[in-house]
Amino acid sequence: MIGEWSRVRAARAWAKLKRQEGVLPLPQPLMERLRKETRSRHVRLERDMGLTPYTVTRMNIVRLLGKFHRFYSSWESWIEASPVDRDFFDPRRKLHLIGRDLAALGLAVPRTDHAERIDLGSPSLERAFGSLYVVEGSTLGGQVINRWLEHSPWVPERGLSYFASYGRDVGVMWRRFQTMIGDRVPVSAHDEVVAGAVTTFDQMYFCLCGKEEMA
Ligand code: HEM
């Protein structure tokens, strides 16, 4: 079973990365809730994306980058409309990385002016932090995919910047994100953060895999 195999390999690769300095997450009640209450959605997304070392073909990755482009063009505007500090958000933007990767692969950036907008609800600080949890967390899985891409002959010499994301700083950026939400979100607002994360996982699933609600 490729899906099962992929998960075992991904977990092993992640355990190796975790041992590297700075990648270990801090224990934190809100993070624990986010992880626990979105776990089934992560498993479903990871499974249905169908990525393995054998399926990271140029065609699959180009398709995926197009879908991510659609998601992030909506998502970045939504975060901009939230009270999240711009200095905190700007280095975490993803859209330009996808545009850069498509260009490096010789492709045009898709038009998004008529693209269907994703629905993430009202952009409160709490919901935006929940949404950022999903997107920032995806940089961790991106590290695994990036390793697979290293062995693909069609990948441009400099790699694909979306999957590489912060490079060696992935662990540091993840820790800073955890510190930020730990400092800014009172316990009374935890439910809203989790709701933001759940909605974002569902909308991302809708964009990447074509279905929205968790069955
Ligand atoms: C767009 C798709 C994806 C999203 C939104 C996503 C989201 C997340 C999130 C939020 C976390 C943080 C979990 C935590 O609280 O510790 C995470 C961790 C992780 N993800 Fe993903 N992920 C995605 C795709 C993938 C894929 C395709 C893989 C496998 C290749 C993967 C492998 C991992 C691994 C290994 C971790 C490390 C933490 C762990 O589960 O112990 N993810 N991801």
Which SS3 state, helix, strand or coil, does residue 101 take?
Answer: helix
How many structural domains comprise the chain?
Answer: 1
Does residue 33 lie within any of the structural domains?
Answer: yes
Q: Which of 151, 132, 145 is nearest to 91 (CA)?
A: 132
Residue 5: which residues within 8 A CB-CB, separation 6 or more? Answer: 52
- Mean pLDDT score across all residues of the chain: 90
Q: What would the pLDDT profile of 25-45 be if each residue is shown by its tens digit?
A: 546 899 999 999 999 999 999
Domain extent for 127: 28-209
Ligand 1 near 181 CB (within 6 A): no
% of the chain beyond a pLDDT of 90:
79
Q: Examine the pLDDT at 180 and tell me if it is beyond 90.
A: yes
Does residue 13 lie within any of the structural domains?
Answer: no
Ligand 1 near 198 CB (within 6 A): no
The confidence score (pLDDT) of residue 1 equals: 44
Q: What would the pLDDT profile of 63-80 be if each residue is shown by its tens digit?
A: 999 999 999 999 999 999
**How far, in Å, from the CA of 137 to the mean position of ligand 1?**
6
Q: What would the pLDDT profile of 147-162 be if each residue is shown by its tens digit?
A: 999 989 999 999 999 9
Does residue 114 lie within any of the structural domains?
Answer: yes
Does residue 3 lie within any of the structural domains?
Answer: no
Paired tokens of 172:
């540091």
Ligand 1 near 129 CB (within 6 A): no
Q: What band does 115 get if pLDDT is binned at 50, 70 and 90?
A: low
Mutation to probe ligand 1, out of 44, 138, 206 (largest number of atoms < 8 A from CB)? 138
Ligand 1 atom closest to Cα of residue 148: 30
Residue 101: which residues within 8 A CB-CB, separation 6 or more? Answer: 65, 156, 160, 161, 162
Does residue 20 lie within any of the structural domains?
Answer: no
Q: What band does 22 get if pLDDT is binned at 50, 70 and 90?
A: low
Does residue 10 lie within any of the structural domains?
Answer: no
Ligand 1 near 140 CB (within 6 A): yes
Q: Examine the pLDDT at 16 and tell me if it is beyond 80.
A: no
Does residue 23 lie within any of the structural domains?
Answer: no
The confidence score (pLDDT) of residue 117 equals: 79
Please tell me the pTM assigned to this model: 0.88
The confidence score (pLDDT) of residue 215 equals: 46
**How far, in Å, from the CA of 47 to the mean position of ligand 1?**
11
Does residue 21 lie within any of the structural domains?
Answer: no
Residue 159: count of CB within 10 angstroms of its CB: 16
CATH classification of the domain holding 81: 1.20.910.10
